[in-house]
Amino acid sequence: MLKAFLLSVTFASLAFSADPEVVVLWPGGAPGAQGTAPEDIPKYTVYPAASPVHTGVVVCPGGGYQGLAMDHEGAQVARWLNAYGVTAFVLQYRLGPKYHHPIEMNDAKRAMRMVRAHAREYGVDPDRIGIWGFSAGGHLAATVSTHADNGDMTAPDPADKFSSRADFAILAYPVISFGAFGHQGSVHNLLGANPDPALIEELSNEKHVTQQTPPTFLFATSDDPVVPVENSVLYYEALRKANVPAEMHLYEHGPHGVGLAFYDPILSTWPLHVAEWMRTHGWLNRPQK
């Protein structure tokens, strides 16, 4: 246990291998933008790995679809991924209550397309691109996982020709369902007051898992006071029913929003399980050419 804790602290203190680059998702202006303030311009920050394994991950910080935990669910995660040779892309997506669905989903899907379109420039293989989301960012990652598309080959923008599908997903204490176990703040911020029941159904992602949903790792705590653990359980059960490779780690105790939990001697073990899972699937090994 102490070893896991010390390893996590070591990862937390790592410096970036290079100065991060900020990439605007739509240089000509984002569809549906309601202004030109920083919060109206979706973007991601690129954190390249010093010794890349040619895997990339789009990271979606949480914040109830109203804010973004860019440090402990963004930059720290990028540092951790860099330590394993993975290039990270920390996403700054547009937020409610100013922006509603499908804006947030489209921002995340565009990020997946952009990373895939420029994969070679980033030192990433286009078929080794995952998505990692926390809390409401976990809902966004699950939405991309269950609502992906193959791109539009007739689109004038070359990036839009690429698939938005993630090759794997990591969901940390995620919002999944908008039903009985939903996080009502996320529902309100994403869909507004009195949302259409059809949208509630459409964005309850456990109901839309198919064989095309990517392999998924889930982490949550059983007594999470903000997002009920049933969100993770329902998604895991749906993945299993669809024969999608899945692994879930539930801890008995722990607050919501712990990020990588570097300073918790118990919860700090969960990122090590992520690394083991990624290594098992080959995403931490350099592909054979």
Please give the Cα distance from 114 to 204 (Å, whole number).
26
CB neighbours of residue 157 within 10 Å: 14
DSSP label of 288:
P
Instruction: Tell me the per-residue pLDDT of 73-109, one tens digit each, with 9 for 90 and over.
Output: 999 999 999 999 999 999 999 999 999 999 999 999 9
The whole-model pTM stands at 0.94
For the cut 90, the answer to whether the pLDDT of residue 111 exceeds it is: yes
For the cut 80, the answer to whether the pLDDT of residue 161 exceeds it is: yes
Burial of 15 (0-12, 13-18, 19+ CB in 10 A): exposed
The pLDDT of residue 182 is 85
Please say whether the beta carbons of 174 and 132 come within 8 A. Answer: no
Please say whether the beta carbons of 137 and 170 come within 8 A. Answer: no
DSSP label of 274:
H
pLDDT above 70 covers a percentage of the chain that reads 93
CATH code, domain carrying 129: 3.40.50.1820
Q: Is residue 287 part of a domain?
A: no
- Domains: count for the chain: 1
Q: Is residue 223 part of a domain?
A: yes
Q: Which carries the bigger pLDDT value, residue 79 or residue 6?
A: 79
Q: Is residue 285 part of a domain?
A: no
For the cut 70, the answer to whether the pLDDT of residue 14 exceeds it is: no
Mean pLDDT of all residues in 113-123: 97
Residue for token digits 């350099």? Answer: 286
For the cut 60, the answer to whether the pLDDT of residue 207 exceeds it is: yes
Q: Is the peptide bond before 102 cis (omega within 30 degrees of 0)?
A: yes
DSSP label of 215:
P
DSSP label of 17:
S
Strands of the chain, DSSP E: 21-24, 43-47, 56-60, 87-92, 129-134, 168-172, 216-221, 246-251
Please give the Cα distance from 117 to 103 (Å, whole number).
20
Burial of 284 (0-12, 13-18, 19+ CB in 10 A): middle
Please give the Cα distance from 242 to 115 (Å, whole number).
27
Residue 83's domain comprises 2-280
36, HSE (Cβ side, Cα atoms, 13 Å): 3
For the cut 70, the answer to whether the pLDDT of residue 252 exceeds it is: yes
Which one, of 156, 75, 163, lies nearest residue 119 by Cα? 163
The pLDDT of residue 18 is 57
Which distant-in-sequence residues (6+ apart) come within 8 Å of 33 by Cβ?
40, 41
Mean pLDDT of all residues in 152-165: 97
The pLDDT of residue 36 is 96
Alpha helices in 70-183 (DSSP H): 76-83, 103-117, 119-122, 136-146
DSSP label of 196:
-
Angle at 71 between CA 183 and CA 266, to 5 degrees: 70
Q: Is residue 288 part of a domain?
A: no
pLDDT confidence tier of residue 183, bands split at 50, 70 and 90: confident
Element (H, E) at 232: helix 230-241
User: And the tokens for 34?
Assistant: 């309601």
Query: What's the chain's average pLDDT?
Result: 93
Lowest-confidence pick of 5-19, 148-162, 183-197, 263-277: 5-19
Q: Is residue 10 part of a domain?
A: yes
CA-to-CA dists, residue 24 to 29, 131, 174, angstroms: 9, 18, 26
For the cut 60, the answer to whether the pLDDT of residue 9 exceeds it is: no
Please say whether the beta carbons of 171 and 216 come within 8 A. Answer: yes
Q: Is the peptide bond before 197 cis (omega within 30 degrees of 0)?
A: no
